[in-house]
Amino acid sequence: MNHNLNLASYSEDKLEVIMESLTEIESLVIRLRFGLLGYERHTLEETADMVTLVTKSNNATKSVPVKREGIRSMEVRVLQKLSALGVLDND
């Protein structure tokens, strides 16, 4: 699946609306990967180093690092989600 990710051409207001349709971690990953809304663009590896999942179980909070492949998978899912919402143009 190839997408023309031209999110940088959207206004900040439009990008904020788009990001609100995503979970907090999905939004962060897309901001980091594509350099949106004040974030610099980062590689998968750099993004993985910056993103941590926080899980809650039995009233305990645990931080789980996200690996490069997890970031890639999340990016693909988010792009599919944005495509389904009509945000992305298919090439």
Render pLDDT for 63-83 as a digit per residue (tens, 0 to 9). 878 899 999 999 999 989 888
Tell me what pLDDT residue 87 has: 75
User: Is residue 91 within 8 Å of residue 2, measured between CB atoms?
Assistant: yes
3 by Cβ neighbours in 10 Å (0-12 / 13-18 / 19+) ranks as middle
Tell me what pLDDT residue 8 has: 72
User: Is residue 71 within 8 Å of residue 29, measured between CB atoms?
Assistant: yes
Q: Which of 14, 3, 43, 2 is nearest to 51 (CA)?
A: 43
Coil, strand or helix at 13: helix
Query: For residue 23, how far is the Cα from the chain centroid?
Result: 9
pLDDT in tens, 8-67: 778 888 889 889 999 999 999 999 999 999 999 999 999 999 888 776 777 778 787 889
